[in-house]
Amino acid sequence: MSDRDPGVILATDVGSTTTKAVLVERRDGRHRLVTQAVAPTTVESPLEDVMIGVRTALTRLERVTGRRLLDADGELARPACPEAGVDLFVTTSSAGGGLQMAVAGVVRSMTAESAERAALGAGAVVADVISIDDARLIVERIRRLRELRPDIVLLSGGTDEGSISHVAAVAEYVAAARPTPRFGGAGKVPVIFAGNRRAREYVRDVLGELCDVHEVANIRPTLEQENLDPARTAIHRIFLEHVMAHAPGYPELLRWAGQVVEPTPHAVGRMVKLLAAARGAGVVAVDVGGATTDVFSVVQGQFFRTVSANLGMSYSMANVLVQAGAAAVLRWLPYTLDERDLRNWNANKMIRPTTLPQTLRELLLEHAVAREALRLSFGHHCSLARGLKGVQQRRTMADVFSQTPSGECLITPAGVELVVGCGGVLSHAPRRSQAFLILLDALQPGGIVQFCLDRAFLMPHLGILASVHPSIASQVFWDDCVLPLGTAVAPLCRPREGQYLAQVRLRLQDGRLLCDEQVVGGRLRRIALAAGEEAWVEVTPVRGVDVGEGPGRRVFRKVRGGEVGLVLDGRGRPLDLPPDRAKARLLLHEWFRALDAYPPAALAQEEG
């Protein structure tokens, strides 16, 4: 850490409902989180000035820390001195629904999907995807584009030497819709054209007068190649120059932040990428919100992000039931419940989302819904985190019987080594093992996987800080933001009940043997390994069982402890609960007890 690093850092995240401010200070050579404060966001009427909420949050921070952050004129006090001011201010924003984009391409599963990936990766909310092979009528597509009022339109289509007619037609749809921006009154909507370069002139011709056209390199220059970065960079630039500059109060926020305000999900994505780079492994981060669930991943060096709208733990809770089905939720309950009661409970939570579970029964119900919301969102994420479609594959006669389609999912159960969870249902789970088990059951990673919790949802703040000081962001993340839950050893196989799957030996750094245990089919086993402790685990699977390195291959790896410790998961992948509900309930009780996930006395009552 150099002396040139900022000593006092203030970071804010302007969310749709709340504005959160955090203060980071260098103490004894290390940057630590001092405290955080929250205030309602004031971007909507009647206040319509985001700075009111930001200043309120800062005033609350001042009250808690005693450090004066605002001067007499309400300006940010800079630079820092012992009792006042800050050296660096960074901010993210998702207020007003975040960055809303419409995406258009020629073929839904090819260029339009690439464009969708670029927009999602840039932290946008993709309001709709329009393509030539869209099942909707032309009129409907145009009407939809008109209704959306997107902040930015991303237009893609065609490979660089391909035909221009289809991409030109998509440009004509956009022109016909004459989209108007959400902010900025009579201004033109920015359109980023990231398609066939030969079509640029025509696109300029069609859209030039109606929209603010920005040309960037083709998102799909060839069928075999996807080039998302130029489009993503353009999205950020335009977000700052066109969208943020017109939002109420943002010009002042931009001035405070040195003209950089990032979309919140983009900052989170940077943090996930940073983690993946530091670990050199696949990382998945999930944020289970009230209305939506965000999933971020870095696998095989590629970054993906998806937002599952209408899958969440409050307003969208009833929709989880609709999409997953009542049986899927009920299977996670260690007691019997009528479908009718489940639906009523679920719908009541939907209309009164701020209520809390008072009994263990209701807590278990919320956790059952969370598992399904996460499972569905992760499934949605996997459907987008895949290789390119339309890529020509050269096959020989030997491949005739083992042909795989292009566009296979890149996330494999053994390809993820770190899972980070956040969102109320995980962060506020009364016991950490509950959050651990929800993540393990819903995502079902295999091999050796570490689980962490972003307990205060600081990833946006640290993500934007990482853009200027990655080492500080990484340090604060591990010291103050993340809560290590533990590590799971989960063989990839479909075991029989009681089947011996692998031998696990855990040695501390000093060579002391901590445990020598078996992974047994259908069972969970928890071994204490405290947070901050590291140990070497040696997993020797039996023939045919894979713990990440291939069937039967031994794995030797350093693992990190946490509040839960090391968990040996012999339940197999995919994790199937027995169709016999009584048997499934007994198994759930056994698993919950193995992880000490719920209060034993109350859990025993449910069993009785």
CB nearer to other proteins: pick between 358 and 396: 358
198 Cβ contact list (under 8 Å, min separation 6): 158, 160, 161, 162, 164
341 binds other proteins (CB under 8 A): yes
Question: What's the CA gap between 347 and 489, in Å, rounded?
Answer: 37
Q: Least separation, in Å, of the C-beta of 525 and other proteins?
A: 23
Looking at residues 359 to 378 of the shown chain, list those that interact with other proteins (rule: CB under 8 A): 359-363
- Of 312-320, 372-380, 479-487, 508-516, which part binds other proteins (CB under 8 A)? 312-320
- Of 64-72, 78-86, 329-337, 352-360, which part binds other proteins (CB under 8 A)? 352-360
Strand-pair partners of 288: 293
CB nearer to other proteins: pick between 430 and 550: 430
Each residue 107-146 as x (binds other proteins by CB under 8 A) or -, in order, gives: ------------------------------xxx--x----
According to DSSP, the β-strands at 482-490 and 565-569 are parallel
Q: Least separation, in Å, of the C-beta of 483 and other proteins?
A: 16
340 binds other proteins (CB under 8 A): yes
| The total number of residues written for the chain in this structure | 608
According to DSSP, the β-strands at 513-520 and 555-560 are unpaired
Among 344, 383, 393, 471, binds other proteins (CB under 8 A): 344
Among 599, 600, 604, 607, binds other proteins (CB under 8 A): 599
Other Cβ atoms less than 10 A from the Cβ of 221: the count is 19
Q: Least separation, in Å, of the C-beta of 312 and other proteins?
A: 10
Burial 290-325 (b: 16+ CB within 10 A, else e): bbbbbbbbbbeebbbbbbbbbbbbbbbbbbbbebbe
149 binds other proteins (CB under 8 A): no
CB nearer to other proteins: pick between 176 and 260: 176
Among 323, 406, 412, 475, binds other proteins (CB under 8 A): 323
CA angle (595, 596, 600) in 5-degree steps = 145
Among 336, 355, 471, 518, binds other proteins (CB under 8 A): 355
Each residue 381-420 as x (binds other proteins by CB under 8 A) or -, in order, gives: ----------------------------------------
Look at residue 480 and give its three-state secondary structure.
helix
CB nearer to other proteins: pick between 43 and 559: 43
Q: Least separation, in Å, of the C-beta of 486 and other proteins?
A: 19
Which amino acid belongs to residue 131?
A: S
CB nearer to other proteins: pick between 360 and 449: 360
Q: Least separation, in Å, of the C-beta of 206 and other proteins?
A: 8
296 binds other proteins (CB under 8 A): no
CB nearer to other proteins: pick between 327 and 347: 347
Number of residues that bind other proteins (CB under 8 A): 49
339 binds other proteins (CB under 8 A): yes
570 Cβ contact list (under 8 Å, min separation 6): 491, 495, 499, 501, 519, 520, 521, 522, 523, 524, 525
291 binds other proteins (CB under 8 A): yes
Instruction: List the structure tokens of 33.
Output: 């989180």
Nearest of 35, 31, 79, 86 to residue 471 by alpha carbon: 31
Question: What's the CA gap between 104 and 508, in Å, rounded?
Answer: 54
- Of 50-58, 336-344, 384-392, 498-506, which part binds other proteins (CB under 8 A)? 336-344
- Of 72-80, 171-179, 236-244, 299-307, which part binds other proteins (CB under 8 A)? 171-179
Q: Least separation, in Å, of the C-beta of 434 and other proteins?
A: 10
Nearest of 432, 382, 430 to residue 561 by alpha carbon: 432
DSSP 409: B
165 binds other proteins (CB under 8 A): yes
- Laid out side by side, the sheet with 565-569 consists of 302-309, 292-299, 283-288, 418-422, 447-454, 482-490, 565-569, 524-527
351 binds other proteins (CB under 8 A): yes
Among 218, 316, 433, 450, binds other proteins (CB under 8 A): 316
Alpha carbon of 98 to those of 122, 368, 399, 507: distances in Å?
A: 11, 29, 46, 47
**Measured over all CA atoms, what is the biggest interatomic distance in the chain, rounded to whole angstroms?**
78
Alpha carbon of 186 to those of 182, 211, 246: distances in Å?
A: 10, 11, 11
1 binds other proteins (CB under 8 A): no
192 Cβ contact list (under 8 Å, min separation 6): 152, 153, 154, 155, 214, 215, 216, 231, 234, 235, 238
Looking at residues 192 to 221 of the shown chain, list those that interact with other proteins (rule: CB under 8 A): 202
CB nearer to other proteins: pick between 88 and 170: 170
Q: What is the DSSP string of 327-396?
A: HHHHTT-SS---HHHHHHHHHHHHHSTT----SHHHHHHHHHHHHHHHHHHHHHHHHHSB--TT------
Among 348, 393, 509, 518, binds other proteins (CB under 8 A): 348
Looking at residues 428 to 457 of the shown chain, list those that interact with other proteins (rule: CB under 8 A): 428, 430-431
172 binds other proteins (CB under 8 A): yes
Q: Least separation, in Å, of the C-beta of 438 and other proteins?
A: 14
Residues that bind other proteins (CB under 8 A): 137-139, 142, 165-166, 168-169, 172-173, 175-176, 202, 291, 310, 315-316, 318-319, 321-323, 339-341, 343-348, 350-352, 354-363, 428, 430-431, 599, 602
